[in-house]
Structure 1
Amino acid sequence: MNMKQLDRIRTGKGFIAALDQSGGSTPKALQQYGIPESSYSGEEEMYALVHEMRTRIIKSPAFDSRHILGAILFENTMDRSIDGQLTADYLWEQKGIVPFLKVDKGLAELEDGVQLMKPISGLDDLLKRANERNIFGTKMRSVIKEANPAGIKKVVEQQFAIGKQIAAAGLVPIVEPEVDIYSADKTASEKLLKDEIIAQLSALDPDVKIMLKLSIPTEDNFYSDLMEDPHVVRIVALSGGYSQTEANDKLAQNHGLIASFSRALSEGLAAGQSDEDFNAKLSKSVEAIYEASIK
């Protein structure tokens, strides 16, 4: 583990950029960016286009370490290069931004009010490659749709079981049990979720470090006590479908919670924009998300 990176993530001012839409959500991400599915054919062309989009974001002067602590990549981006350097090396060495890797393979079908992660085949090999490519941490997502105690327990148990495997490989896992923001019983789900997280944290070996990525809670500062746990490096928040403005407003009400936004970060960016317009739009978004994160 890179201690300089750990210190930056734990104590730095700023937020984490989520640039990790993968296979299933990439066409949608490209479409929002102004590249319709009709303009490319096959996965290789699609991934080349998405890497161009990500490269444009990462290389933008607006994407800087003054505001951004880390960036979450997906496997295809980790294996590609920017200006002759592997993406993670470029992020850290050129930008001072800590690289993370999305490791999950998507969601299973809804059962007990939740969607667990699909089995992550080849995880050990992926973690080995992540280490070789100087990745600091990982991210994996499950979704909670209903306040179902059995389902929520399964989600948190699965996240922590795999999290321990990731920590044993020398990486810092971001555990992401997302509560659907449109859930009718979001508050009740969050109470159940917090209790399960506390139970899992108390059972961890003393030297295990994790991060949590959670939906912005309905009750302000609901996760403050989790921030005090010695295992928890940082708690970051997902935008979960809120617009950037709404996500920032809600985030600003939660002291110590920082953003890890994906759609809310790239909102308003388009392939056809001039570099000047693209950088100006991204700069405005980065500044606004940063301000909400440091409150």
Structure 2
Amino acid sequence: MSNAKQTEQMRKGEGFIAALDQSGGSTPKALRLYGIEESEYSGDTEMFDLIHQMRSRIIKSPAFTGDKVVGAILFEQTMDRDIDGTPTATYLWETRGVVPFLKIDKGLEAEVNGCQMMKPIPGLDDLLSRAAKAGIFGTKERSVISAANAEGIKAVVAQQFELGNQVLAHGLVPIIEPEVTISIADKAEAEAILRDEILAQLDALPADKQVMLKLTLPSEANFYKPLVDHPRVMKVVALSGGYSRDEANAKLAQNTGMIASFSRALTEGLSAKQTDAEFDAMLEEAISSIHAASVAG
């Protein structure tokens, strides 16, 4: 598994990162959107089997290749499972040309100072060692900012980079994700504080290290350009954050050098009830539109 090749693919970023990492709490919703009601399965085992079938179907679909999908973020259970007898991360890279990432956070703490920090991640070093062995390239860890509160945002970014350094120590590339809630009145102000905090943390990183950033599409186009251009940043990716696919794509196209990392906006309209031809056609359309917006900037 060539790390240099994967690094080059992420740096060039000619495409987008598919976020296939809904976890326990959001899985029933993801399945419902996919046309499978909670009455159709019982218990976690069946639920996770079904979501793995859905993810496998997406990954094996003809349009899901490194030409347009440069990376994919996996849930831990997906990393531990196989596709056609091959471990998922290996299958992604060797069969589809897609760089595999792993979601490592365990969800969010209660809100303090308008922000939600990440919950503790027990056994993280073991998980990171396992991920590296499984051929995972990088990780993703999410916090949430719901107010332009300087103290809250500073704490979120400090925690993100502390975790990021732990990830870097395992030879993996962290995707640092401090999501700004799209519906808040002081979104632009929160983004200004966030950008300054991230820049300060980036400047403190060792010269030979790079991280990736996953950020909410900013209120002002190209507001994150200083982060895109920073030498410690491999790539800045955008989350759809509840915008519809069309809205998210339109906003993304205005931000030079940012590429998409959409989950809901990618799977919008896909259904278990579709024939493979219908499913593949709809996924192809989604992938093409998100790819176009990603390379437009």
TM-score (norm 1): 0.99
Aligned to 2:215: 214
Aligned to 2:110: 109
Q: Is the 8 A contact 2:13 2:259 kept in 1?
A: no
1:93 aligns with 2:117: no
Q: Distance in 2 between matches of 1:270 and 1:101?
A: 25
Letter in 2 for 1:94: T
Letter in 2 for 1:253: Q
The 3-state SS of whatever aligns with 2:17 is strand
Aligned to 2:172: 171
Off by >2 Å, runs of 4+ in structure 1: none
The 3-state SS of whatever aligns with 1:202 is helix
Deviation (angstroms), 1:209: 1.3
The 3-state SS of whatever aligns with 2:184 is coil
Deviations 1:213-242 (A, max 9, x none): 000000000011111111100000000000
Q: Is the 8 A contact 2:115 2:156 kept in 1?
A: yes
Q: Is the 8 A contact 2:149 2:190 kept in 1?
A: yes
Deviation (angstroms), 1:12: 3.4
Deviation (angstroms), 1:271: 0.3
Aligned to 1:121: 122
Aligned length: 295
Aligned to 2:250: 249
Letter in 2 for 1:251: L
Q: Distance in 2 between matches of 1:131 and 1:251?
A: 31
Q: Distance in 1 between matches of 2:13 and 2:252?
A: 17
Deviation (angstroms), 1:66: 1.1
**Within-5 A mapping of 1:218-229:** 218-229=219-230
Q: Distance in 2 between matches of 1:26 and 1:125?
A: 25
Name stretches of at least 5 consecutive residues in structure 1 with no aligned partner. Answer: none
Deviation (angstroms), 1:211: 0.1
The 3-state SS of whatever aligns with 2:178 is strand
Aligned to 2:28: 27
Deviations 1:59-102 (A, max 9, x none): 00011111110000010000000011000000000011000000
Deviations 1:165-201 (A, max 9, x none): 0001100000000000001100000000000001101
Letter in 2 for 1:171: L
Aligned to 1:82: 83
Aligned to 2:267: 266
**Within-5 A mapping of 1:146-157:** 146-157=147-158
Letter in 1 for 2:62: P
Deviation (angstroms), 1:288: 0.3
Name stretches of at least 5 consecutive residues in structure 2 with no aligned partner. Answer: none
Aligned to 1:15: 16
Q: Distance in 2 between matches of 1:80 and 1:59?
A: 15
The 3-state SS of whatever aligns with 1:177 is strand
